Amino acid sequence: MGFLRACLKLCKLDEGLKHFLILCVITTVVLPMICTSLRDSIFYIKPINVDKEKKLLKIIDSKRLNESLRILNLSNSKNIYDGRPRHSLFKNQNIDIGVTIITVSRNRHQFDLYEPKYLTQVAGKIVSLLKDPALNKTYAVFLCNVDPDPNSYTEISPLSRILPTFQRFNAKIPQHVHILEKEKQDYLFCLNETMNRKANYTFLIEDDAYPDDRLFSVLEHVIDNRIENKFSECKSKVRDVTYVKFYHPTRLLGYYSLEVERILELISISVLFGTIMCQSYAYLYIKSKYSMNKMWFLFTVYSCLVAIAIGRQNIMEFRRVSSSLFQVTPAPSCCTPALLFTQHGGQKVMEYMQNVRCRYNYAKDMVLEDVKRKHGLVGLLVQPNLFKHIGLYSSLRSKVLDPFIV
């Protein structure tokens, strides 16, 4: 009887409201089916078999590694950049961007016999991306070996014959500082060595950050349009920008982070699609007596809830269609897998880092946030991410991690 009464009440509803309720019912059935495999959706079902997921990640690693080995084996110190001056290995030539990969040995803890060779994967990808003839700036690629036992770090040896390498330690040295302080000192060393090559920009990449195919086209677009403002009548000073982040943990990029620009973004998406749905409905069902203002409100709320359910991270993927569609916002704190420094910003960071000491709950990303805040400088974040975190083996925590978490 209760179900019958509900059906009778539904029949008495205005046609517009009935259509909206039917849409909601269909959505609650279809949307979870679509989103169960979308990471960062509220309907995402995390694989129960962790070992199976790790095995899958290793298979993906192997494919990337084989591709990088193919690229690097076909290259040498003379033809790695096809002889084109825009990609220079020589410090006496003008360099727009110095790209440095910071690296240490992985899996020394020997949880298993697997050797991920993240450095080879990342270096091979960087080299392949820099062969793009559409790039307009000059680049130099460096490796920065900060391993405390450099002689036992065998993976970097063949790469050092191809790419110029900075090495912090000459022999095995016992570490007497906090691991976070050591990481800060490593970062400072690599930043300083790269800036000494007189590049206009310094791009520091950690060796477990795998680049996206659009990395350098987006990077050049950001430099030209958001830092140097080459195509704007209002010129801003390059020195106002400290750094640009090209990676932030995906789990921290959702609407729930309550960043001001993300709330405005959610409102904009809701209003846009709510208006489109309302106008479409008005065109198809003009005879409906239900107030179109109320329908617009319902469709807007509906669009908002659907966007939250799908997840901002997944919606942002549509921006990959074009380099000009990538979003640039103020950078939140946390995490340093891929940072581009201006000359002035890099100098400020080095000056500040030399006078602070990292410790538990105060890592180098917090130092970067402090120098930005205290000097009134600007940090930017490019979204969606242009790097994937592929680090299954942590050099800091000495354990196996889920690379989708960090």
CA–CA dist 179, 197 (Å, integer): 28
Q: Are 378 and 245 a contacting pair, CB within 8 Å?
A: no
Does one domain contain both 186 and 268? Answer: no
Residue 234: give the domain boundaries. Answer: 79-253+330-389
Does one domain contain both 269 and 348? Answer: no
Residue 39 is encoded by which pair of tokens? 């990471």
Does one domain contain both 158 and 238? Answer: yes
Does one domain contain both 126 and 138? Answer: yes
Identify the CATH number of the domain in which residue 132 sits.
3.90.550.10
Does one domain contain both 41 and 114? Answer: no
Residue 303 pLDDT more than 90?
yes
Does one domain contain both 130 and 226? Answer: yes
Is residue 3 included in any domain, yes or no?
A: no
Is residue 283 included in any domain, yes or no?
A: yes
pLDDT, tens digit, 9 for 90 and up, residues 327-367: 999 888 888 899 999 998 899 899 998 889 988 888 898 98
Is residue 70 included in any domain, yes or no?
A: no
Is residue 202 included in any domain, yes or no?
A: yes
Highest mean pLDDT among 195-204, 352-361, 367-376: 195-204
Residue 197 pLDDT more than 60?
yes
Confidence of residue 83 (pLDDT cuts 50, 70, 90): very low
The interaxial angle of helices 179-195 and 364-374, nearest 10 deg, is 60
Does one domain contain both 292 and 382? Answer: no
Residue 197 is encoded by which pair of tokens? 């090559």
Output the pTM of the full model.
0.84
Is residue 52 included in any domain, yes or no?
A: no
- DSSP, residue by residue, 169-233: -SS-----S-HHHHHHHHHHHHHHHHHTTT-SEEEEEETTEEEPTTHHHHHHHHIIIIIS-TT-S
Does one domain contain both 149 and 40? Answer: no
Residue 233 pLDDT more than 80?
no
If one compares 358 and 74, the residue with the highest pLDDT of the two is: 358
Is residue 382 included in any domain, yes or no?
A: yes
pLDDT, tens digit, 9 for 90 and up, residues 166-189: 999 888 877 788 889 999 999 999
- Name the average pLDDT for the chain: 83
Residue 11 pLDDT more than 80?
no
pLDDT for position 122: 94
Is residue 8 included in any domain, yes or no?
A: no
Classified as helix, coil or strand, 106 is coil
Residue 332, preceding peptide bond in cis (omega within 30° of 0) = no
Does one domain contain both 160 and 173? Answer: yes
Is residue 62 included in any domain, yes or no?
A: no
pLDDT, tens digit, 9 for 90 and up, residues 272-301: 999 999 888 888 776 655 677 888 999 999
Residue (of 306, 298, 272, 305) closest to 18 by Cα position: 298
Does one domain contain both 351 and 224? Answer: yes
Overall domain count for the chain? 2
